[in-house]
A and B are shown apart, each in its own frame.
Chain A
Amino acid sequence: MKSAFHHGLVLGLVGFACAASALLAQDDDEGLPLPSWSEEDLRAMREQPQAAPLLNNLLWPENVEFLAETEPASADTPDARQPAADLSRFLPPHLIASPGAGRSLPSAFIPTSAASLRDVSAAFLADAAGWPPERHLIDPNGELSETMEGDFARFLEFHARDARVRLHVLLLGRDERLPGAASPVMVAQGSLQHGNACLAVVPRGEPWRLRLFLSRHVHETAPPAELAEMLEDCVRDAMLATDEDEQIHRLLVRLSIRLFWLERLLTKPAAVKEAIVRNPEPLSEVTVLPDPVPIIETRMTVPLAAGLAALLGLIFWRWRRYKLRHYVWTLPEREVAPRLGGAHCGGGTWIDYR
């Protein structure tokens, strides 16, 4: 009895829902206006019937002559359901333009020669040093347009909000480089000395000259191979783009992802990190990068080790030769009872070598 009541209730609800949806659909049909076609539209459709919006042949104006021409013989074939259309109307113009008509692509990958590279000016360094710490995109030269700078700045702020390793980006000109004496620690009013931070020095248009600086804690915790792979991955991804702004964009996105991956390798838990932030350690123990080491140097470890081993081998070899030439060995005298009647020698051994 009780189940019959439930069945009846369910059926009633379903019926009410169907009736309500039918009424709403009818209201929608009545509310939507039919498309109207002007003479120009009809002329354009006649000239380029393949480029006209089809929408399953339901929105054609009446009495169109070319309808029969475009309609395939068998409407059930896949070609009929997905007719060829001119996609040029749905793509940005610069993507379908001829390669020679747009910007010059090859210049994006022509590296500046080493002789042409110049150190950034003292004013640049002073601007970078006095840059506000909360602005993670450091662009003293004004390399970026206002729109791109805003986009990148928002992206870096978003990264800093969730990441344990903050990301600061120092933009250089195409032919600029950091002088050897410049200390990345002083960038952004020394804010990189506190907490875990990463400074990416990005020459505009030349992502292969990317330099990364990490806080000492991060640098010592993460495996060198992982850091080298991170650097290579960022450069590789940036090189996929030819546009300079797009290169920076791809580089930042990839670097942000890799820094999030890097967090998993950091052994220090978040609670400990917060405690350190609230109670700063003494100056000598603060996890800063007083002597930042570019990650690129980790790739030189194997050649350096091999060179050191070769040097040690050479020193040992020279020392051995020197010792063999300038040293003498004195053997201890031991008494041996004479035998076989010999006063000085008591026999020997022999072999046949045939």
Chain B
Amino acid sequence: MLICPRCRSPLRLGGACCDRCGCHLGRLQQMLGDQQVKVERLIDHARCLALKDFQRLEHCLDEFERRFPQIHAIVFLGGLLSGVSAAEAGFWLLNQGVCTRPSGTMPNRWGLAVIIDPVERRAGLAMGYALEACLPAGFGSEMLQRAAVHLAHDEHVRAVDALLACLDRKLRSQGSARRRTVPPGTQRTDPHLGLEVLPEAAPVPAQSPQHR
């Protein structure tokens, strides 16, 4: 069952806004902006992750995205504007964000946004349409409940790990497995390993002896 990210009331399929609170993307764009934003995979505005936790979380996300190359995950830890719920933040992030990987820009219909507000102690989850269609109704709430056990102890890494593990098991039962191969075109043929080439620096004029 689809619910409104703001008031949690049921939504109509294809409805342009929530029948109860009138929530829609346009309202969020007025509050948070309507421009496209570049989104990193792990955003820690709250600065609640130590370096070790940051690396562990990166590893979790790496493993998850390696098993499901269609999906990209975004974890946001930080305070939210008043009047914006965690689910609304994820909803806005997946529609306005541009997430890039070495293979290119990831389609947000396969995106997963995990929003954690450690100050207000609330967490939200948003999924793109394609990912949402692979999961049963209400599975997002179930994942959040599993993560809440660890979030209550401020164990953010374990919370995200538990959430991803739950999603991992479900998606493996839904998808078809095949042995991983290096996709064609991955090997670079251009020079400089595909790195951006800096413009050549202008030659520095030699200082004349008179300046000394």
Residue numbers of A with Cβ under 8 A of B are 323-324, 326-354
Contact = CB atoms under 8 A, between A and B. Distances in A.
B68 A331 contact: yes
Interface string B103-117: 000011111010100
Interface core residue of A323, A331, A340, A354 (most chain B CB under 10 Å) = A340
Contacts of B3: 347, 349
Q: Is the contact region of chain B dominated by helix, strand, or loop, or is it mixed?
A: mixed
Given A331-B130, A342-B95, A350-B87, 6 more contacts: A329-B68, A345-B90, A347-B4, A347-B91, A351-B123, A353-B122
B23 interface: yes
Nearest to B141: A349
A331 B174 contact: yes
Given A331-B134, A342-B25, A353-B121, A348 B126 contact: yes
Interface of B: 2-5, 8, 11-18, 23-26, 63, 66-71, 85-88, 90-91, 94-95, 107-111, 113, 115, 120-134, 140-141, 144-145, 148, 151-152, 171-172, 174-180
A348 B87 CA distance: 5
A323 B177 CA distance: 9
B133 A336 contact: yes
Contacts of A326: 179-180
B127 A348 contact: yes
Interface core residue of A329, A335, A341, A349 (most chain B CB under 10 Å) = A349
Given A330-B176, A340-B23, A345 B121 contact: no
Contact of A349 (B12, B87, B121, B180): B87
Contacts of B122: 350-354
B14 A350 contact: no
B132 A349 contact: no
A326 B180 CA distance: 6
A354 B153 CA distance: 9
B208 to A, nearest CB: 61
Contacts of A349: 3, 5, 8, 87, 124-125, 140-141, 144
A197 B175 CA distance: 60
Given A324-B67, A331-B70, A345-B94, A353 B123 contact: yes
A344 B107 CA distance: 8
B66 A348 contact: no
Nearest to B29: A341
Q: Which 9 A-B pairs have the closest CB atoms?
A: A348-B126, A350-B124, A329-B175, A348-B87, A344-B108, A345-B94, A341-B25, A334-B133, A350-B87
